[in-house]
Amino acid sequence: MSQDNGKSRSNAILVLGGGISGITAAVELAEMGYEVYLAEQTASLGGRVALMNKYFPKLCPPACGLEINYQRIRKAHDKIKVLTLARAVAITGRVGAFEATLEIQPRYVNQKCTACDDCTKVCPVERPSENDYGLGTTRAIYLPHAMALPMRYVIDMKTCKGKECAKCVEACQYGAIDLDMKSTRITLNVGAIVVATGWVPNDASGLANLGFGTCANVITNVMMERLAAPNGPTQGKILRPSDGKPVQTAVFVQCAGSRDENHLPYCSSVCCLASLKQAGYLREQNPESKAYVFYIDLRAGGIFEDFLTRMQNDPAIVVQKGKVAKVREDPATRDLNIEVEDILGGGKLRMRADLVVLATGMVPSVRTAPLPLQLVCDEYGFCAPDGQLPGIVPAGTAKGPTDVATAIQDATGAAIKAIQWIHSTTSTPSITA
Ligand SMILES: Cc1cc2nc3c(=O)[nH]c(=O)nc-3n(C[C@H](O)[C@H](O)[C@H](O)COP(=O)(O)OP(=O)(O)OC[C@H]3O[C@@H](n4cnc5c(N)ncnc54)[C@H](O)[C@@H]3O)c2cc1C
Ligand code: SF4
Ligand code: SF4
């Protein structure tokens, strides 16, 4: 380590965001010999991919891609320090010599946890699961998700009854629970920062005409992933939220709020493929079922063309140009009545369905929860690929909506870029607090 205007120069790299992009950047950097801090704000690595049932185009479960990367993290453990429940609260300095202060929230469960699950059996508190997007619940002490790394429980202190209860402390034979844990701050000296903070689902509550929030059987595409996932709230059975009946007819509404000046003006590029994939989940599970996908324009570029053709070959998946204008619930049956503007034929189509899935788009995380860093963003809040402060490298869906394979490629490039910054000798301005 050398000195740069009083601050220590460092070859270490901080990666913000532990989804597939951040994990990829971190392992690539570590395998090239760089010291990496991988900071994830939630209690586990994995990001949105860990919450999916399967991913296109191969339709493999998330465990496939994630487990390989987790093994790479374990192998490079002397180079990668994984920090969960960690968010950057201040970043100062300049390329080669940043000082990043991270706040680490208490997990209340230490490394002695074996994930035996004894604690959840005695916990009296049931809370909505953020990972199930409101479709399921967990106890106040819970495992973040099936693909959690670290495989360690966490307590939601907002709902936990605290020391008056302490039933989990008694039940844990490993002494892993510490209700007194406090948040801590650490300051890291790093040479470059990769911003892999990903995306959040667009809030569908503004889509009143499509019934979200008022009709129980109208859900979003991320909720559908959880409904279909074996580790989800229905153990993978695609059931109507209102009454738990198996779904016979589902309607997928493309561009639900997307490419609409009043909501999200842009296309999230993966939603068409995601809906086709989800129509496939339903068909696989229930051979008598039927799925309708109504789209304005169908987006399936490059290598995904084959996937589109494969899904369209199923006569029970009807892919039709049409704009869904209205969804209303029949109060007696909770069935959904749907009105579609027939774009090609003209006029209106009317139909009934058990479930409506809104293909809502992807919003950059940094738009809803900004970083303590001046990022250059496009008009939609995604990080611009170029023009960031020297040493700051955005990666993956923080830069724009993409599929997993593209996010991985991008994150690999971001790792190279971060190394280039560390070794650059150009004089650059400093960020002050
Ligand atoms: C419904 C749907 C289905 C999809 N299905 C597929 C599919 O089948 N195949 C496919 O290829 N793609 C699919 N995608 C796209 C896929 O979800 C993305 O490509 C993938 O999530 C990108 O990973 P990421 O790491 O860039 O972002 P994310 O998965 O969003 O990960 C970002 C991580 O950063 C963390 N984070 C955010 N802010 C901070 C902060 N300030 N500090 C620390 N950590 C932070 C988050 O908690 C998260 O863990 C789908 C998308 C949708 C909407
Ligand atoms: S906290 Fe204790 S009881 Fe709960 S899963 Fe971990 S080891 Fe088991
Ligand atoms: S102390 Fe909190 S987490 Fe533990 S059993 Fe009681 S409510 Fe659940």
Let me know: does 35 contact 79? Beta carbons within 8 Å. Answer: yes
Handedness of CA 355, 233, 63, 385 (dihedral sign): positive
Structural domain includes residue 172: no
Whether residues 192 and 64 share a domain: the answer is: yes
Whether residues 100 and 235 share a domain: the answer is: no
List the CATH number of the domain containing 252. 3.50.50.60
Structural domain includes residue 430: no
Whether residues 295 and 353 share a domain: the answer is: yes
Per-residue 3-state assignment (H helix, E strand, C coil) for 256-286? CCECCCCCECCCCCCHHHHHHHHHHHHHHHC
pLDDT at residue number 1:
44
Structural domain includes residue 140: yes
Structural domain includes residue 17: yes
Residue at which a domain ends, from 326, 343, 360: 360
Measured in angstroms, how far is the CA atom of residue 166 from the centroid of ligand 2?
Answer: 13
Structural domain includes residue 42: yes
Residue at which a domain ends, from 325, 345, 360: 360
Summarize the chain as % helix, strand, coil (round to 5): 25, 25, 45
pLDDT at 55 over 80: yes
Residue at which a domain ends, from 340, 360, 380: 360
Whether residues 239 and 135 share a domain: the answer is: no
Structural domain includes residue 173: no
Query: Lowest-confidence range among 146-160, 249-263, 308-322?
Result: 249-263
Whether residues 267 and 369 share a domain: the answer is: no
Whether residues 155 and 225 share a domain: the answer is: no
Q: Is 141 helix (H, G, I), strand (E, B) or coil?
A: strand
Range of 144's domain?
118-161
β-strand partners of 340: 324, 349
Whether residues 140 and 27 share a domain: the answer is: no
Geometric angle at alpha carbon 201, from 84 and 88, rounded to 5°: 30
- What is the band of 426 on the pLDDT scale with cuts at 50, 70, 90? low
Q: How many domains does the chain fold into?
A: 3
Let me know: does 324 contact 343? Beta carbons within 8 Å. Answer: no
Whether residues 134 and 236 share a domain: the answer is: no
For 208-257, the pLDDT digits (tens) are 899 999 999 999 999 999 999 999 999 999 999 999 999 999 999 998 77
Q: Is 254 in the pocket of ligand 1 (CB under 6 A)?
A: no
Q: Is 160 in the pocket of ligand 3 (CB under 6 A)?
A: yes
pTM score, whole prediction: 0.95
Whether residues 240 and 294 share a domain: the answer is: yes
Whether residues 325 and 213 share a domain: the answer is: yes
Q: Is 295 in the pocket of ligand 1 (CB under 6 A)?
A: no
Whether residues 351 and 217 share a domain: the answer is: yes
Strand 192-195 versus strand 392-394 pairing type: parallel
Handedness of CA 8, 192, 187, 35 (dihedral sign): negative
> Which protein residue's CA is at the shortest distance from atom 1 of ligand 3?
166
Whether residues 300 and 218 share a domain: the answer is: yes
Measured in angstroms, how far is the CA atom of residue 52 from the centroid of ligand 2?
Answer: 25
What average pLDDT does range 268-289 have in this prediction?
A: 92
